[in-house]
Amino acid sequence: MSILVTGGAGYIGSHTVVELLKEGKEVVIIDNFSNSNPQTLEKIKEITNKDFKFYEIDYLNKEKLKKVFEENKIDAVINFAGYKAVGESVKEPIKYYINNISGALVLLETMKEFGVKKFVFSSSATVYGNPEKVPLTEDSKVGGTTNPYGTTKFFIERILEDIYKSYNTWDICILRYFNPVGAHESGLIGEEPKGVPNNLMPYIVRVASGILNELSIFGNDYDTKDGTGVRDYIHVVDLAKGHIKALEKLDKEQKGLFIYNLGTGTGYSVLEMVKAFEKSTGKKVKYKIAPRRAGDIAICYADPRKAKQELGWEAKKTLEDMCRDSWNFINKKC
Ligand code: NAD
Ligand code: UDP
């Protein structure tokens, strides 16, 4: 029995495939390389010394997707495929709704046709919108999303709830990621955003390495410890391990829809991130204070206790690990 991983060549998907292979699972990856590249698959093999099946397909292509289910005995699906750039989603909402929502629906319909009923979904803390209070528990209000990307995650969560209620035979795990950063300790796989990065950590490493000139800190007048935005940064390897625990849960349970925050429970400000990066790498990060970025919120961090109690999962890696591994990855590439 295999685990089908859509978007397995991407940032979180590739780290999760490494953990799945380490656990001795059989893995089938599909990806269209719209935001990744084939070399990542070779790096996964190098890290694990294990092999897997790969199909270069668009998961919206029902006929090709059906072939994957015909040719492999799929036990469960982890769905990473999708677009994730918040700013681009505001400019191109249709592109985002089609790829993320129609793609998920084609996948879910194909799963139904083949009797595959275990599904792990990559959701996001963005479903909470602007939090009324922190830390965020899984029963905090959702739906006040501020951009089409976040709305795709919110809608898919609702679709999954309906699927669960109507068929009552599926096991579904919705994982709400906070801010994934870092890279595999080998430095072989990591985050490779195309063009100028939008996210903080990829931007910091590019400033430190001289690829970019200086970091703009978006606002220092928020109601936070030092005025800059606070987020819950989580090491991607910890996040990947959360998926193994989610699959274990679905194997054990008979029928259920489970939702978990995957975060550390600690919020760091942008200035704290810059300082932590400088301390752990010895590299200077030039920055300036810039106006707030539209759509940003002041503070967002998780209450991760539910995942600890029910999955036996908690983030182990430190902020220093996150900074060091992000730096190590970009250095190996340059
Ligand atoms: P990523 O872009 O690195 O990985 C997504 C992968 O899916 C890429 O390899 C891309 O080529 C592939 N893909 C996209 N559309 C496809 C399609 N139609 N058919 C086949 N493959 C397709 O992104 P990531 O950071 O690894 O994120 C994985 C998932 O987690 C996404 O759904 C994302 O929205 C979600 N998520 C990410 C973050 C984050 O900050 N990275 C936070 C919360 C949630
Ligand atoms: N941020 C920043 N400069 C950048 C990128 C991000 O000051 O070039 C800030 C941003 O305003 C937020 C935090 O860093 O407070 C995390 O932003 P990111 O885009 O990484 O994640 P998200 O906004 O999705 O939580």
Residue 104 confidence (pLDDT): 98
Residue 334 confidence (pLDDT): 62
Residue 241 confidence (pLDDT): 98
Q: Is 50 exposed, middle or buried (0-12, 13-18, 19+ CB in 10 A)?
A: middle
Q: How far is the CA of 258 from the centre of ligand 1 (A)?
A: 21
pLDDT at residue 195 greater than cutoff 90 = no
Residue 326 confidence (pLDDT): 97
pLDDT at residue 301 greater than cutoff 90 = yes
Of 118-132, 165-179, 191-205, 298-312, the one with minimum mean pLDDT is: 191-205
pLDDT at residue 294 greater than cutoff 90 = no
The full 3-state SS of 295-319, as one line of letters, equals CCCCEECECCHHHHHHHCCCCCCCH
pLDDT at residue 1 greater than cutoff 80 = yes
pLDDT at residue 333 greater than cutoff 90 = no
Helix (H, G, I), strand (E, B) or coil at 30: strand
Q: What is the pTM of this model?
A: 0.98
Across residues 80-86, what is the average pLDDT? 95
Q: How far is the CA of 284 from the centre of ligand 1 (A)?
A: 30
Share of the chain above pLDDT 70, in %: 100
pLDDT at residue 254 greater than cutoff 80 = no
Mean pLDDT over the full length of the chain = 96
- For ligand 1, residues with CB inside 6 Å are 7, 9-13, 30-36, 58-60, 80-82, 84, 99, 103, 122, 124, 177, 180
Residue 331 confidence (pLDDT): 85
